[in-house]
Amino acid sequence: MKLKIRYLVLLGLVSFAFISCKTTGTAPDSLTEGVAEEPDGPVEEADLAGLAAARAKAEESRSLAEYVQGPSAFPAEWGFAEDRYSTAAGRIEAPETKKETYSRIAEWKGIGAAYDDIYDKSVPQFTRGQQEQLAAARAAAVQAGADKLVPDRLAQADALAGSAGQKADAGDFAASVRDGKEAWDRYKILQTIAEAHAKQEEADKYDFFSSDPDNYMIAADAGNDAVSSYDEGNLVQARDSADEALVRFNQVLKNGWVSRVEEKAAIAREWRQAAQEVKANVAVKPDFDAADRVYNQAHVALRAEDYSGAIDLFDRSEALFITAHDNAVTKRDKAEEALRQAEQKLAESEAKAQDAEEIIGGGE
């Protein structure tokens, strides 16, 4: 039984949480609250929680700075911050002491502050072009079919995009970027969900479920999770699940098309061999060469993953090989008939010659 993503079943929209408010500067002192000024001793769970919070804050600052095009606006400063980020993120071993833990907390605070500085300097210029970026993201989502598939959810993103424009006009750049980024994230998620749904419809059209049921079922579950997570406001999970659904449905299509193409290729290959067995490549060489060219073009299309094109070319090559085969057989049959007639005439001639000899010999 086929499983389909029930994108339109989840009609009741639930309230969703906006991303946390943007702050700049260093992380709050609560990360180190209650700890001695010169921490010492083994690391505790609370210390590790503080470290995780400091890193999460830096990650958010990095994401926002990237969204407002900080890397292109301030490439040198971005590169310096990225180097520090890579060094900190590359440490996989857990800290063993409070001192080491709070050293890392301070490190992540500094990294977050660097990204915050890039963000603060990039925001004024970015907000002037933010609406164009959001319009492009929305257009991509609509082109993918989100306006027909999930119109209510698209309206959520539209409301946030409108809010971003209003807040930018009012000079509240931080709030404008916050709403704009969420709107952009939602547009991209809806675009991916719509693209995955289109791939599912293509798979259903050609009954590719039977070719790859495992990936199909995983893709369907991921699509459902993407819609649910979107409605819950968990955009990170929604994006991951939507991406998973798209990747899996693409794999279903690839496996289905490959299976279909291999069937066509096998038939064309059989007729090619049949044509060679009747010496079509010699007897009707132009016909065989024409079929072989199309056959080779089909393999080129297959390597390029142009599956529908490959199927068409294999079908054409099959027809041409059949023609070459039949023409070779016809030519062979005609040649054999001509030889038979020649042999018959020769036999008749020899018989007449024998009769003549007997007549001549009898007259003597």
Mean pLDDT in the chain?
86
User: Is the C-alpha dihedral spanning 44, 45, 48, 50 positive or negative?
Assistant: negative
Q: Give the per-residue pLDDT at 328.
A: 93
pLDDT tens-digit series, residues 105-161: 999 999 999 999 999 999 888 887 888 999 999 999 999 999 999 999 999 999 999
Q: Is residue 214 part of a domain?
A: no
Q: Is residue 313 part of a domain?
A: yes
Specify whether 66 is located in the same domain as 195.
yes
Specify whether 53 is located in the same domain as 117.
yes
Q: Give the per-residue pLDDT at 12.
A: 31
Specify whether 283 is located in the same domain as 168.
no
pLDDT tens-digit series, residues 164-174: 999 988 888 88
Q: What percent of the chain has pLDDT over 90?
A: 66
The more confidently predicted of residues 153 and 43 is 153
Q: Is residue 33 part of a domain?
A: no
Q: Give the per-residue pLDDT at 9.
A: 33
Q: Is residue 219 part of a domain?
A: no
Q: Give the per-residue pLDDT at 362.
A: 57
Specify whether 185 is located in the same domain as 73.
yes
Domain limits for position 264: 260-363
Specify whether 164 is located in the same domain as 84.
yes
Among the residue ranges 11-15, 163-167, 201-205, 211-215, the one predicted with the least confidence is 11-15
Number of domains in the chain: 2
Specify whether 151 is located in the same domain as 274.
no
Q: Give the per-residue pLDDT at 189.
A: 98
Q: Is residue 23 part of a domain?
A: no
Among the residue ranges 20-29, 138-147, 300-309, 322-331, the one predicted with the least confidence is 20-29
Among the residue ranges 45-59, 211-225, 241-255, 348-362, the one predicted with the least confidence is 348-362
Q: Is residue 302 part of a domain?
A: yes
Specify whether 184 is located in the same domain as 268.
no
Specify whether 70 is located in the same domain as 196.
yes
Specify whether 51 is located in the same domain as 191.
yes
Q: Give the per-residue pLDDT at 31.
A: 42
- Rounded distance, CA 202 to CA 196, Å? 10
Q: Give the per-residue pLDDT at 14.
A: 28
Specify whether 104 is located in the same domain as 192.
yes
Q: Is the pLDDT of residue 216 over 70?
A: yes
- Rounded distance, CA 273 to CA 276, Å? 5
Pick the last residue of a domain from 162, 188, 205.
205
How far CA 334 is from CA of 6, 70, 286, 327, in Å, comes to 64, 80, 19, 10
Q: What is the CATH number of the domain that holds 355?
A: 1.20.1270
> Which pLDDT band, with edges at 50, 70 and 90, does 40 fall under?
confident
Q: Give the per-residue pLDDT at 125.
A: 83
Specify whether 201 is located in the same domain as 288.
no
Q: Is the pLDDT of residue 11 over 90?
A: no
Q: Give the per-residue pLDDT at 168.
A: 87
